[in-house]
């Protein structure tokens, strides 16, 4: 049986022009400059845990919505596998916050920042409202690539003085620093396979650009709000 030849040039351009520069920009933002300098406050680390736990749970709810709306078995299984891959992540992110002194009540009463709501909404809505299935894959590719980059940074520096966080507390970051390499690659393959028309490619490029801008905005919002 013949093997389908997939052109990855479009995916490579997305990574080169948009996603990897955004990851570099994120790691040069105040949050990560403080992290490397040993001056990142506990409150700002708590803020990440609170906001990102909400974000992760919202993505699971979005995945459930995609399953309900799935048109065919392939789309249903794709949404199901997405939820299965992410189902433990909210609790891992919460564990990070609990290790920093947060309580269950803190998470129950957390109000998401507007920037976090905006970023989450675009990710959840894209695969549901756009006709091209490549949109969801493009968002996953960009998000997983950036998460993998910052997770490696967090895992490295938070294990060292002056933070000295335990391996168990940092599991969210150590897992994402490794697993998201595979997740990003799988999403990239999906974009290459599904973005076939000029319309698909233009739509994917536009949504990827929007998502990385919103992701950077969420980090700045967390840094500012939890000062």
Per-residue pLDDT of 126-182, as tens digits, reads 777 776 778 888 888 898 899 999 999 999 999 999 999 999 999 999 998 876 566
Please check whether residue 4 lies inside any domain of the structure. Answer: no
CA angle (81 as vertex; 79, 191 as ends), nearest 5: 65
Q: How many CB atoms lie within 10 A of CB 165?
A: 18
Please check whether residue 47 lies inside any domain of the structure. Answer: yes
Task: Say how many domains are in the chain.
Answer: 1
Specify whether the CB–CB gap between 42 and 100 falls below 8 A: yes
Please check whether residue 54 lies inside any domain of the structure. Answer: yes
Per-residue pLDDT of 65-107, as tens digits, reads 666 666 666 666 666 566 556 767 899 999 999 999 999 999 9
The arithmetic mean of pLDDT across residues 23-51, rounded, is: 98
Q: Is 47 exposed, middle or buried (0-12, 13-18, 19+ CB in 10 A)?
A: buried
Please check whether residue 3 lies inside any domain of the structure. Answer: no
Please check whether residue 129 lies inside any domain of the structure. Answer: yes
Please check whether residue 1 lies inside any domain of the structure. Answer: no
CA distance 13 to 15: 5
CA angle (219 as vertex; 221, 106 as ends), nearest 5: 70
Query: CATH number for the domain including 132?
Result: 1.20.910.10
Please check whether residue 127 lies inside any domain of the structure. Answer: yes
Per-residue pLDDT of 168-223, as tens digits, reads 999 999 998 876 566 677 888 888 888 889 999 999 999 999 999 999 999 999 99
Q: What is the pLDDT of residue 71?
A: 67
Q: Which domain holds residue 186?
A: 9-225
Query: Residues near 153 by Cβ (< 8 Å), separated by ≥ 6?
Result: 27, 32, 35, 36
Please check whether residue 38 lies inside any domain of the structure. Answer: yes
């Amino acid at each position: 049986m013949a093997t389908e030849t997939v052109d990855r040039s479009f995916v490579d351009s997305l990574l080169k022009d948009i996603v990897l520069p955004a990851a570099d920009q994120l790691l040069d933002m105040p949050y990560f400059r403080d992290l490397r300098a040993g001056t990142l406050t506990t409150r700002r680390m708590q803020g990440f845990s609170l906001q990102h736990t909400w974000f992760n749970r919202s993505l699971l709810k979005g995945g459930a919505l995609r399953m309900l709306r799935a048109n065919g078995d392939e789309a249903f299984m794709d949404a199901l596998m997405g939820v299965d891959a992410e189902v433990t992540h909210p609790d891992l992110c919460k564990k990070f916050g609990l290790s920093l002194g947060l309580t269950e009540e803190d998470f129950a009463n957390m109000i998401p920042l507007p920037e976090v709501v905006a970023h989450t909404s675009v990710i959840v809505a894209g695969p549901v409202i756009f006709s091209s299935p490549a949109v969801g894959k493009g968002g996953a590719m960009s998000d997983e690539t950036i998460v993998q980059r910052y997770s490696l940074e967090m895992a490295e520096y938070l294990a060292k003085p002056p933070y000295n966080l335990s391996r168990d507390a940092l599991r969210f970051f150590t897992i994402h620093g490794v697993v998201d390499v595979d997740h990003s690659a799988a999403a990239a393959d999906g974009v290459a396979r599904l973005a076939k028309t000029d319309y698909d490619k233009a739509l994917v490029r536009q949504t990827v650009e929007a998502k990385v801008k919103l992701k950077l905005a969420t980090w700045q919002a967390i840094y500012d709000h939890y000062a």
